[in-house]
């Protein structure tokens, strides 16, 4: 009944060994690694980078979750404090169970982390009694009850060490499941709170709130998956104990809060005091992650457009899971360092320069073979070309220079990217995308300024009013200001200059605007007379022309100047990485690998196995020249191959005969003999087995339309 997303666990790649501490990760890494000599170094680089990515994302996650978690914590505190108020109103409605409905979005794989930090925070600052339950472990009320009790009473024993002995003496033994009722929990709670009230109590953390009555929080991680009946009964039971046990619920909701009303009838929901908490949407979350991890020069490791596209599409089309996105990033990182020997240079500039000097001859040969380097060489003088291909030390020096260039490129790329994004993201219809990542993808693919959308964006920018433009430029200035590179500082100065000029316009150009209105008005007058569409278009074009030809106002001059400046900035800094020499060092390009690993296609693999059993069985006899299946292939392969030639309905008898013929040929029987192609018992049995296997794999199914026929279910390549 409760199936959680398979995508949580379908990553089959190397770091899975991380869990086994006994096996050295490094061994795994260097196994089958290109160019083993530098593998150690690469492994270290990779590890460091991954650690950094991991810690960064964790910090990021915490930051993003902070707001909602804080409000949740406030809610729990408030609930536990109002409960103890003795005023009339709060006493009157004390029977409601405070409930926080936490809407988290459909990216289920990410929720675990949120709940983890939530329960940790709760334990730290509000109450030691927190239990979280999942739907799949609570099929029946009994199980739910048991889990809640186990988590509450069990964890507490292990967490608070000094209380362990006492707890063992006083608390009723839980292993006897007969006692699995909330009254047991009540008793336990009573002893617990009494104990912490006694003088000389050791617990310090929750004392800030109300040490006497810390609430008991139960977190339902996936509300939708719970059996409504179980949940209703549980709530009914809990409401009976609410006076003795300060319970509190947190519902994790993936879809929408209205599910609560779908699941719980009014008689039950009236027992709850539900407050809604909406978490950050996952797209925003991803945008922040991309902003921090990908759109920065701090990480030397980069993805090219295709890989990024694959990761993005998995996110947008499939799971909305930021966690999976980061996993994908990790995969790309590992693959890059594993398969690219030159990735030793993919690190901080200082280290990279050092590493260049330590490159071996074979590594240098690899550099010479890099496409980007070849292109570079071709542009050099003949003498230099010879030097580069012969002299290793000279090559190293050049490499250092090139690496420096690459780093400089990255340093300038991102600020300019952001500037361009600020300018274009507010334009109507978003010619260059709403998000920075879309613009980034465009820039990665080819020269952005050759893009048609870029031209339209520029056109639109040329129509901006002054205050809008100034505001945008101001934001660009803010982006450029903290950047340390020389070129960006220069750009910053120029932009501020332009901005001041814009501002001066107000004071200086108080003079009346030049009389440009005349030429515009006259065609408009003409326009009224004309009714024909073609004429209208023509006049409009003329108007456009005349406007262009007319004398520009100082603001327009300045605007053009500013945009010209920005255009130049884009042209000089936003060239795609492929145009830069040695980009292969930093950019991971194999989108197919990533796709294959992250977005597995089970059917394709099955079909591949059936079509070419040789690769799977490693048997030379199965190898065929033209790619067809040999006669001696496994039965299922032959049956599969034969079924491909059939239409929608397959006559079983024909199929069997064809099969028998093929198999007879494989046995080397004489085609002329009587037995050839005869169906005997063994063949019959083998055929039936093959057919049922195919049915199991979902290629055929029995049909009621015709007896002794089966229906074929798959066509084409997918």
Does residue number 619 form part of the binding site for another protein (CB under 8 A)? Answer: no
Which stretch in 13-21, 222-230, 368-376, 557-565 sits in contact with another protein by CB under 8 A? 222-230
Of 20 and 648, nearer to another protein (C-beta) is 648
Q: What 8-state DSSP symbol labels residue 669?
A: -
What DSSP line would sit under 443-481, residue for residue? HHHS-GGGSHHHHHHHHHHTT--HHHHHHHHHHHHHHHT
Q: Which of residues 105-124 bind another protein (CB under 8 A)?
A: 105-106, 108
Q: How far apart are CA 718 and CA 369, in angstroms?
A: 37
Of 282 and 377, nearer to another protein (C-beta) is 282
Does residue number 434 form part of the binding site for another protein (CB under 8 A)? Answer: no
Of 92 and 510, nearer to another protein (C-beta) is 92
Of 138 and 432, nearer to another protein (C-beta) is 138
- 649-651 and 709-712 strand pairing: antiparallel
Among 28, 53, 65, 98, binds another protein (CB under 8 A): 98
Of 225 and 469, nearer to another protein (C-beta) is 225
Residue 87 CA to chain centroid, in angstroms?
50
Contact 445, 577 (CB under 8 A): no
Does residue number 16 form part of the binding site for another protein (CB under 8 A)? Answer: no
Among 88, 173, 199, 674, binds another protein (CB under 8 A): 88
Does residue number 276 form part of the binding site for another protein (CB under 8 A)? Answer: yes
Of 278 and 553, nearer to another protein (C-beta) is 278
Of 389 and 601, nearer to another protein (C-beta) is 601
Q: Which of residues 147-206 bind another protein (CB under 8 A)?
A: 176-178, 180-182
Q: 250-269 mask for another protein (x: CB under 8 A)?
A: ----xxxxxxxxx---xx-x
Which stretch in 23-31, 97-105, 393-401, 659-667 sits in contact with another protein by CB under 8 A? 97-105
Which stretch in 28-36, 136-144, 405-413, 466-474 sits in contact with another protein by CB under 8 A? 136-144
Does residue number 84 form part of the binding site for another protein (CB under 8 A)? Answer: no
CA angle 288, 293, 295 (to 5 degrees): 85
Among 34, 150, 233, 291, binds another protein (CB under 8 A): 233
Contact 133, 220 (CB under 8 A): yes
Q: How far apart are CA 568 and CA 616, in angstroms?
A: 55
Which stretch in 42-50, 75-83, 455-463, 650-658 sits in contact with another protein by CB under 8 A? 75-83
CB of 231 to another protein, least distance (A): 12
Does residue number 1 form part of the binding site for another protein (CB under 8 A)? Answer: yes
CB of 251 to another protein, least distance (A): 11
Among 275, 351, 438, 578, binds another protein (CB under 8 A): 275
CB-based burial, 645-664: b 16+ in 10 Å, e otherwise:
ebeeebebeebbbbbbbbbb
Contact 382, 624 (CB under 8 A): no
Among 84, 212, 270, 579, binds another protein (CB under 8 A): 270
Which stretch in 150-158, 208-216, 448-456, 598-606 sits in contact with another protein by CB under 8 A? 598-606
Of 371 and 698, nearer to another protein (C-beta) is 698
Which single residue is written with the structure tokens 């690496």? 403
Alpha-carbon separation of residue 122 from 113, 250, 259 (angstroms): 14, 11, 25
Q: Where are the alpha helices (DSSP H) in 180-265?
A: 182-197, 228-241, 258-263
Q: How far apart are CA 592 and CA 601, in angstroms?
A: 12
CB of 601 to another protein, least distance (A): 5
Does residue number 431 form part of the binding site for another protein (CB under 8 A)? Answer: no
Alpha-carbon separation of residue 158 from 119, 481, 682, 709 (angstroms): 16, 52, 63, 63
Which stretch in 141-149, 160-168, 399-407, 436-444 sits in contact with another protein by CB under 8 A? 141-149
Does residue number 713 form part of the binding site for another protein (CB under 8 A)? Answer: yes
Question: With helix as H, strand as E and coil as C, how does 641-655 read?
Answer: HHHHCCCCEEEHHHH
Among 5, 205, 474, 539, binds another protein (CB under 8 A): 5
CB of 695 to another protein, least distance (A): 8
Of 222 and 335, nearer to another protein (C-beta) is 222
Among 292, 387, 575, 599, binds another protein (CB under 8 A): 599
Does residue number 527 form part of the binding site for another protein (CB under 8 A)? Answer: no
Q: How far apart are CA 350 and CA 219, in angstroms?
A: 49
Contact 514, 551 (CB under 8 A): yes
Of 16 and 604, nearer to another protein (C-beta) is 604
CB of 714 to another protein, least distance (A): 9
Which stretch in 89-97, 163-171, 289-297, 498-506 sits in contact with another protein by CB under 8 A? 89-97
Contact 328, 109 (CB under 8 A): no
Q: How far apart are CA 262 and CA 260, in angstroms?
A: 5
Which single residue is written with the structure tokens 């699995």? 180
Q: How far apart are CA 284 and CA 451, in angstroms?
A: 27
Q: Where are the alpha helices (DSSP H) in 370-465?
A: 371-378, 382-390, 392-424, 436-445, 452-461
Does residue number 77 form part of the binding site for another protein (CB under 8 A)? Answer: no
CB atoms within 10 A of CB 4: 14
* Rg for the chain, CA atoms, rounded: 35
Which stretch in 23-31, 94-102, 440-448, 572-580 sits in contact with another protein by CB under 8 A? 94-102
Does residue number 675 form part of the binding site for another protein (CB under 8 A)? Answer: no
Angle between helices 392-424 and 466-480 (to 10 degrees): 150
Among 26, 56, 96, 567, binds another protein (CB under 8 A): 96
Q: Which of residues 296-315 bind another protein (CB under 8 A)?
A: 314-315
CB of 152 to another protein, least distance (A): 17
Does residue number 608 form part of the binding site for another protein (CB under 8 A)? Answer: no
CB of 171 to another protein, least distance (A): 15
Angle between helices 108-125 and 322-339 (to 10 degrees): 110
Closest CA to 659 of 684, 695, 696, 693: 684
Does residue number 693 form part of the binding site for another protein (CB under 8 A)? Answer: no
Does residue number 646 form part of the binding site for another protein (CB under 8 A)? Answer: no
Of 500 and 601, nearer to another protein (C-beta) is 601
Among 126, 152, 272, 629, binds another protein (CB under 8 A): 272
Q: How far apart are CA 460 and CA 595, in angstroms?
A: 37
Alpha-carbon separation of residue 287 from 32, 102, 110, 278, 423 (angstroms): 35, 21, 15, 18, 18
Alpha-carbon separation of residue 44 from 50, 337, 594 (angstroms): 10, 10, 22
Q: 314-333 mask for another protein (x: CB under 8 A)?
A: xxxxxxx-------------
Which stretch in 16-24, 138-146, 354-362, 484-492 sits in contact with another protein by CB under 8 A? 138-146
- For residue 500, the SS3 value is helix
CA angle 15, 21, 22 (to 5 degrees): 120
Total residues at the site for another protein (CB under 8 A)? 85
CB of 89 to another protein, least distance (A): 6
């Amino acid at each position: 009944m409760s199936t959680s997303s398979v995508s949580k666990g379908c990553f089959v790649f190397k770091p899975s060994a991380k869990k086994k501490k006994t096996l050295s990760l490094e061994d795994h890494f260097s196994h089958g690694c290109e160019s083993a000599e530098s593998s150690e170094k690469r492994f270290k680089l990779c590890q460091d980078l991954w650690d950094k990515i991991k810690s960064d994302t964790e910090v990021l996650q915490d930051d993003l979750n902070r707001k909602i978690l804080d409000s949740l914590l406030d809610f729990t505190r408030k609930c536990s404090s109002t409960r103890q108020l003795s005023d009339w109103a709060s006493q009157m409605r004390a029977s409601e169970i405070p409930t926080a409905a936490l809407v988290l979005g459909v990216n289920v794989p990410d929720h675990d982390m949120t709940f983890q930090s939530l329960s940790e925070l709760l334990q730290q600052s509000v109450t030691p009694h927190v239990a979280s339950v999942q739907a799949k472990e609570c099929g029946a009320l009994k199980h739910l009850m048991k889990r809640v009790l186990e988590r509450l009473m069990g964890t507490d024993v292990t967490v608070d060490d000094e209380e362990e002995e006492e707890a063992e003496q006083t608390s009723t033994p839980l292993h006897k499941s007969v006692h699995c009722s909330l009254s047991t929990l009540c008793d336990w709670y009573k002893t617990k709170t009494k104990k912490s009230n006694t003088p000389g109590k050791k617990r310090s953390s929750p004392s800030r709130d109300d040490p006497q009555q810390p609430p008991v929080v139960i977190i339902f991680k996936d509300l939708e998956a719970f059996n409504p009946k179980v949940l209703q009964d549980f709530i009914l039971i809990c409401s009976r104990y609410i006076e003795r046990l300060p319970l509190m619920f947190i519902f994790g909701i993936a879809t929408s809060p209205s599910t609560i009303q779908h699941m719980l009838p009014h008689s039950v929901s009236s027992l709850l005091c539900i407050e809604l908490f909406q978490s950050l949407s996952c797209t925003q979350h991803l945008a922040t992650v991309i902003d921090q991890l990908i759109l920065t020069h701090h990480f030397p490791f980069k993805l090219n457009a295709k890989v990024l596209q694959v990761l993005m599409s998995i996110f947008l089309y499939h799971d909305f899971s930021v966690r999976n996105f980061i996993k994908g990033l990790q995969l790309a990182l590992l693959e890059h360092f594993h398969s690219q020997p030159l990735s030793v240079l993919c690190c901080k500039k200082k280290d990279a320069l050092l590493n260049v000097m330590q490159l071996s001859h074979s590594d240098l040969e690899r550099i010479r073979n890099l496409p980007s380097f070849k292109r570079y060489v071709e542009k050099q003088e003949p003498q230099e070309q010879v030097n580069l291909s012969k002299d290793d030390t000279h090559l190293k020096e050049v490499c250092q220079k090139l690496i420096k260039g690459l780093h400089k490129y990255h340093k300038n790329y991102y600020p300019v990217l952001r500037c361009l994004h600020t300018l274009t993201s507010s334009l109507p219809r978003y010619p260059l995308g709403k998000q920075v990542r879309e613009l980034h993808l465009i820039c990665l693919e080819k020269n952005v300024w050759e893009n048609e959308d870029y031209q339209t964006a520029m056109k639109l920018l040329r129509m901006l009013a002054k205050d809008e433009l100034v505001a945008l430029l101001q934001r660009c200035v803010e982006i450029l200001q903290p950047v340390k590179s020389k070129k960006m500082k220069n750009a910053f100065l120029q932009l501020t200059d332009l901005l001041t000029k814009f501002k001066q316009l107000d004071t200086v150009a108080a003079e009346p605007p030049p009389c440009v209105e005349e030429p515009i008005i006259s065609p408009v007058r003409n326009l009224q007379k004309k009714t024909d569409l073609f004429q209208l278009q023509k006049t409009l074009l003329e108007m456009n022309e005349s406007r262009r030809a007319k004398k520009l106002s100082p603001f327009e001059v300045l605007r053009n100047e500013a945009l010209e400046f920005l255009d130049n900035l884009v042209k000089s800094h936003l060239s795609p990485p492929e145009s830069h020499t040695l980009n292969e060092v930093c950019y991971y390009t194999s989108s197919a690998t990533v796709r294959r690993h992250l977005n597995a296609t089970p059917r394709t693999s099955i079909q591949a196995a059936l079509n070419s059993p040789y690769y799977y069985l490693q048997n030379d006899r199965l190898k065929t020249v033209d790619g067809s299946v040999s006669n001696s292939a496994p039965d299922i392969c032959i049956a599969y191959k034969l079924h491909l030639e059939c239409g929608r309905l397959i006559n079983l008898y024909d199929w069997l005969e064809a099969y028998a013929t093929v198999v007879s040929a494989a046995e080397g029987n004489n085609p002329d003999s009587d037995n050839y192609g005869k169906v005997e018992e063994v063949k019959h049995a083998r055929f039936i087995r093959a057919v049922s296997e195919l049915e199991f794999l979902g290629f055929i199914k029995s049909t009621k339309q015709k007896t002794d026929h089966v229906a074929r279910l798959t066509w084409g390549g997918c």
